[in-house]
Every structure is written in C-alpha cells, then in structure tokens.
Amino acid sequence: MTTSGTTSFNMDFTDIAEEAWERAGREMRSGYDLQTARRSMNLMTIEWQNRGINLWTIDEGTVNLSQGTAQYDLPADTIDLLDQVIRTGTGANQQDLTVSRISVSTYASIPAKNNTGRPIQFWIERLRDNPRINVWPVPDSDNYIFHYWRMRRVQDAGSGVQTADMNFRFFPCLVAGLAYYIAMKVPELEARVPMLKQIYEEQFQLAAEEDREKTPARFVPRISRY
C-alpha cells in the first residue's frame, strides 16, 4: 500500500470542539456546547500567551517616527516587543542601530525628556487597549524608523468554521487543554478533571519544548569590581 503523500492535516474549530468533548467524556450535542467550547478556547489561548513565547505569533512591524513626537501607539493585538532597532537610510545605505528598552523608573529619572536627537532608548507602556512606546531623545527628524519584532495575540476561535490560528505542533495540546477546560464546567465530568489536566500539561510541555529557537547560546556573567 502507498502512503497518502500529503502532510496538510488541519482542523476547523468544530472538529477541535467535537474531539475535545469526546475526550472529556461525552458527545457535543448542541449549539451551546460549541459556543461554550469556543469561549473556553479563547481563554485557553490567552493562558498560553501568559506562559511564554509562541513562535508562530512573532512578526515584524515598523513605526515611522516623526520629528518632535515622543509617543507612538503599537497595534492593539501586540502583547509585547521581543527586539527592536532604529532604522535609518534605505538600500545600500540602510543601517539598523541599537535602541535600548528601559523601565518606567529609568525613564522617569531622565531629567531632560524633551532633548532631541536620534532615539537610543524607549519605554513601553503596556496599556489596557494597546501598548505605547515612548522614545528618547525625541526624534530630531522624520528619517527614523522604529523597526520591531513583536509577539501578537493568537486569533480568536471565530464563528466555529475557521481553522485554529496556531502551528500544527500545538493541535494535541489544544484538544487536550480544551477537554480539560470543558470538563471543569460540567459537574458530571468532574471525576475526569485530574486526568485531563495531567494530559494537558504533558502535551503543553511537549509542544513548548519543540516550539523554540534552535540556535547556539552563550552566557557571559557580568562581574562587578568593588
């Protein structure tokens, strides 16, 4: 017999919900069962983002800095920035220059916040509706671009017919976690909760350990002299 020759397996949310309900111990029977599963999935993906970096949610963005303007809003679905540079020039003349992230305390201690020049530091306000960056010094021209790599939110479950916004490596974890979340809400499934939680945590650990950068790392201690 021959193999399928395809590697495109995917699941829409209805398939995910049906599999999760069956693992929890019963069949999905109603529209409300789908609705409550969709709500649980949205909450669970927020939990994943609180646990750490999901590589498939990393993307790039830019903010064109304006002369005399220190504050800039980031997209509303931005969780946090991972890295950033100040870009000048284009083509062969393009340069990416280091810009350091500082804390609110360090920003507050800057005595001359209105000084102008090429930005070398920024503080990020993680506001309720969207993050905002405060650059310093205040740009002295319109020729700077704040180029960043960010972690964005996982897209919502939607209406139930879309596919999940995640890498295939997380499908087993997604189904296991959703089964656990569902069982917590149904009294007659309470006995299965400890087992489902253990399976969920195992699947999350497997997926998270695979979903990481595979590059050499070197750690250099910082030693101060007294």
Same-domain status, 71 and 120: yes
Check if the beta carbon of residue 166 is closer than 8 Å to that of residue 155.
Answer: no
Same-domain status, 128 and 81: yes
Same-domain status, 108 and 142: yes
Same-domain status, 81 and 110: yes
Q: Measured in whole angstroms, how far is the alpha carbon of residue 164 from the centre of its chain?
A: 15
DSSP output for 25-52 = TS---SHHHHHHHHHHHHHHHHHHHHH-
Q: Domain limits at 20?
A: 13-53+155-210
Q: Over the stretch 107-128, which tens digit does the pLDDT of each residue have?
A: 999 999 999 999 999 999 999 9
Same-domain status, 95 and 46: no
Domain membership of residue 1 (yes or no) is: no
Domain membership of residue 114 (yes or no) is: yes
The arithmetic mean of pLDDT across residues 60-68, rounded, is 97
For residue 115 the two structure tokens come to 């000084």
Same-domain status, 105 and 191: no
Strands 121-126 and 58-64, sheet pairing: unpaired
Q: Is 176 exposed, middle or buried (0-12, 13-18, 19+ CB in 10 A)?
A: buried
**Placement of tokens 């979903």 in the chain:** 211
For residue 65 the two structure tokens come to 């800095």
Domain membership of residue 41 (yes or no) is: yes
Q: How many domains is the chain built from?
A: 2
Same-domain status, 141 and 198: no
Same-domain status, 141 and 179: no
Give the pLDDT of residue 157. 86
User: In which band, very low, low, confident or very high, does the pLDDT at 223 lie, cut at 50, 70 and 90?
Assistant: low
Beta strands in 65-179 (DSSP E): 71-73, 78-88, 95-98, 100-101, 116-117, 121-126, 131-136, 138-139, 145-152
